[in-house]
Chains A and B, each alone.
Chain A
Amino acid sequence: MIRDIYAYRCRKCGRLHYPFRMVCKECRQNDFFDFDLVPLPKTGKLLTFTKVYNLPAEFEVPTLGLGIVELENGLRITGQLEVDDPRIGMAVRGEVKPVRKSAYDTFYGMVFRAG
């Protein structure tokens, strides 16, 4: 099964959104599910980041990198960061991978590396 993350383009005004919302923030004119799915670009630049030490118990790692990335088309996305020496503005490339496992489910999300 191929898993991916999509942006949502308003059918009324064309504005892109991520994550999904019921009504476009720009024109606020949509009917139900009035959006087209658009693949998210996988490359962008790092806007800000952190390395977290106190994680929820489900994360069986000592630290976790997190960042907000501005993608090529200007949309932003929050994701995990696997970069040794992150810097604001650096180029990153994302991949959709499992990011969290609970007792019942595995959640897929964007994981960014340098590139």
Chain B
Amino acid sequence: MRDVYVGGIGITTFTRLEYPLSEIAAYPAMMALKDAGIRDVDHLYVANMGSARVNHQTALASAVVDSLSLTPAGAAVIENGPASGASALKAGFAAVASGLHDVVLVSGAERMREVNNLEATDFVATLTHPLAEYIYGVTLPSHAAMFTRLYMEKYGLTERHLAMVAVKNQNNAMLNEFAHLHQPITIEGILDSPEAMTNNPYVAEPLRFFDACPVSDGGAAVILVSDDVAKTIDRPLIRLAGVGQATDTHAVHEREEPTDLLAVRRAAAQSFEMAGLRPEDVDVAELHDAFTILEIVESEEVGFFPKGEGHVALEKGETAIDGSLPINPSGGLKGKGHPVGATGVAQAHEIVTQLRGEAGDRQVDGPQVGFTCNFGGFGNNVVCLTFVREGR
């Protein structure tokens, strides 16, 4: 396999965007091309989950490749639920590593706010098991809620720990100009004060409003290039060193130990093994906190903290921007937003920004190794990436 490097990156603001979906994919792609200082690409992957259902548009990659006047380059959509973004990066990685292509542009985009919140929740819920889950009204918040209840029972996690994740990530998002939520919150306002139940009502008990990510529109792009091309690009050298992916049962109730997220554990281990690194080597991570509980559990399953102790590390401030292992300095899905198809690419965007030392007010101190976990389904399809800063 050839080494694969990040040539350029781009991102839109995550918010409600009144642009056609193809432009939401093309805009960050333009930024990434500018960032890399290149005009030609061999292949485009567009990561998207809901264009057909939500935006009444199919074959999105064909629209985007032409809008960017990159024809006749190859183009295809990668749809893999909320893990579409990192899955598209994996496809791009494979194409460059194998020698099939030298320059692959990966753009993730989603426009979910074209429909109302209930429809957006229902759209995401279509990833659940159609006969064993979806028909009952199971949604992603309800999966996360049932999982949280078990975790609380088994590991002593409380609503306070969940609120601490929300506060940390929304405060990080205050430092990110691209983040959806620019709303500072406090434990008092969402948990302790008499108004807390009004400010922060239950969405799916025991999860409250501020435990869930917002519904966002947005796009992010990353250009993956071969060693030879990377040498011609005058940007800090970041290598995509490890790619891991694992799946688990479609119906959540079929998992032997219901508090395990085995696909996260396996995808992370694979990613670290390919990179020749260990979880201890990671300096900054973006984890898929679609719900606050997930940041805590993923931080355990990928190997940063022992099982059941992620919330202890959180309490100690270890995962804050100035902590020993900053998690979600971008604000995460919770603060930055979660345009589903874009998320995995946006996580990579943040890690590359951090490794380049270009993250401004939210810059982590001198990171060399960054890690992303893009969590699809309710943990049934997970992609983890490891990035390393090299030399210059």
Contact = CB atoms under 8 A, between A and B. Distances in A.
A38 to B, nearest CB: 16
A54 B117 contact: yes
- Interface-centre pick from A25, A51, A52, A64 (highest chain B CB count, 10 A): A52
Nearest to A56: B122
Contact of A76 (B131, B137, B150, B253): B253
Interface of A: 17-20, 25, 47-57, 59, 64, 66-68, 76-80, 88, 99-100, 107, 109
B125 interface: yes
* Among all A-B residue pairs, the 6 with the closest Cβ atoms: A50-B145, A56-B122, A19-B132, A76-B253, A107-B135, A48-B146
B145 A54 contact: no
B86 to A, nearest CB: 26
Mostly, the A contact residues are strand
B252 A54 contact: no
Given A19-B251, A66-B146, A52 B141 contact: yes
Contacts of B390: none
A78 B137 contact: no
B228 interface: no
B147 A52 contact: no
Residue among B118, B122, B135, B204 facing the most chain A CB atoms (10 A cut-off): B135
Contacts of B153: 88
Contact count band on B:
35 or more
B203 A54 contact: yes
A56 B147 CA distance: 20
11 contacts: A19-B132, A25-B254, A47-B150, A49-B146, A51-B205, A56-B121, A57-B122, A66-B146, A78-B133, A78-B138, A107-B135
Interface string B114-130: 00011101100100010
Interface centre among B138, B204, B253 (most CB of A within 10 A): B253
Given A50-B206, A50-B207, A51-B204, 20 more contacts: A17-B254, A19-B131, A47-B150, A48-B149, A49-B149, A50-B146, A52-B137, A52-B141, A54-B117, A55-B139, A56-B125, A57-B118, A67-B146, A68-B253, A76-B254, A78-B251, A78-B252, A80-B137, A99-B135, A109-B135
Nearest to A17: B254
A110 B243 CA distance: 40
Given A54-B204, A68-B253, A80 B136 contact: yes
Contacts of A66: 136-138, 142, 146
A25 B250 CA distance: 12
B258 interface: yes
Residue among B132, B150, B252 with most chain A CB within 10 A: B132
Contacts of B204: 50-54
Nearest to B121: A54
Contacts of B254: 17-18, 25, 76
